[in-house]
Amino acid sequence: KKRKADGGGRPEGSNKRAKGKKQWGMPRKEAAEGRGIHPGDVGIWATCAMKKEAKSVADLRDLFSEYASKLYGVDPANAAAENGGTDDEADIEAEISKELEDIRKPDKNPLFVSRKLDTQCLLFFRTRQPLDPVSFVRSICQDAADGVEQKRCRFVKRLTPITAIDKATERGLDEVAQQVLAPHFHGPDRAGKKFAIRTNIRNNKEFTRDQVIKSVAAAVGPGHTVDLSGYDLLILVEIYKNICGMSVVSPDFDRLKRFNLAEL
């Protein structure tokens, strides 16, 4: 009764925690930034079989390491080693360990790193120079078309290179278009190109396909014509939640099964 009358016996304003109790802080900024996709990122989208996301991330990391060494002479020491297993639970544990390792060592700057997404069958790898996503993906798919079997990628389907990413707003889409399209369509030596536009919109209700095509076509500018089957250049537009990305690929995109490794 005396303690109750005195206000509980603890001095007013005291914020001391009980002895032996752990104080939990807010997540580190580096950890938060290590997840998801952000404006300014460059990379490669990938689709895979359902519930095979962790396995596909590990397989693609090995495949990308092999081609990074082959094409750029880069030592893929930062990539995860192949474990040879097929157990999804083990793959998930390995992927979690890799993410924790990336968070604990923020000074690491690997050539590519997977981003955590909450959408099934969808993966994203952020890349950095000297890796060019378009030529990198094309080399992998051309080898697959030539009969080089990618044994590790049993569950991987389509790869989509992305040259630039910004927020999924009208302004963001326009800025990405100006950045990506200028080297291919703008300038006196770039006139008379035949082009086509293909869009992919996921988990976003702000944009429609027709709206995106109209905006991108306007950014291409005058002096060029639309040709859906006999194009010189194909513009790929990927919109996912609150980000949008774009790239320009060559006419062999359809010959290479739209960069679908499973079909190749």
pLDDT at 255: 95
Tokens of 142: 């051309």
Question: Which residue positions in the chain have pLDDT lower than 70?
Answer: 1-34, 75-91, 98-108
CATH of the domain at 200: 3.30.2130.30
Residue 7 placed within a domain: no
Number of domains in the chain: 1
Residue 253 placed within a domain: yes
pLDDT at 202: 96
Tokens of 17: 């925690």
Q: What is the DSSP secondary structure assignment for residue 260, as one 8-state letter?
A: B
pLDDT single digits (tens) 49-101: 999 999 999 999 999 999 999 999 876 554 443 333 344 556 677 777 766 66
Answer positive or negative: Cα dihedral of 101, 103, 108, 109: positive
Contact between 157 and 49 under an 8 Å Cβ cutoff? The reply is yes
pLDDT at 223: 93
Tokens of 210: 């027709």
List of E strands, the chain: 43-48, 112-115, 122-127, 156-162, 164-167, 194-202, 225-226, 233-240, 243-249
Residue 21 placed within a domain: no
Residue 116 placed within a domain: yes
- H or E element, residue 88: helix 88-104
Domain hosting residue 44, numbered range: 29-259
Residue 16 placed within a domain: no
pLDDT at 88: 57
Residue 77 placed within a domain: yes
pLDDT at 165: 98
pLDDT at 133: 97
Residue 15 placed within a domain: no
Residue 90 placed within a domain: yes
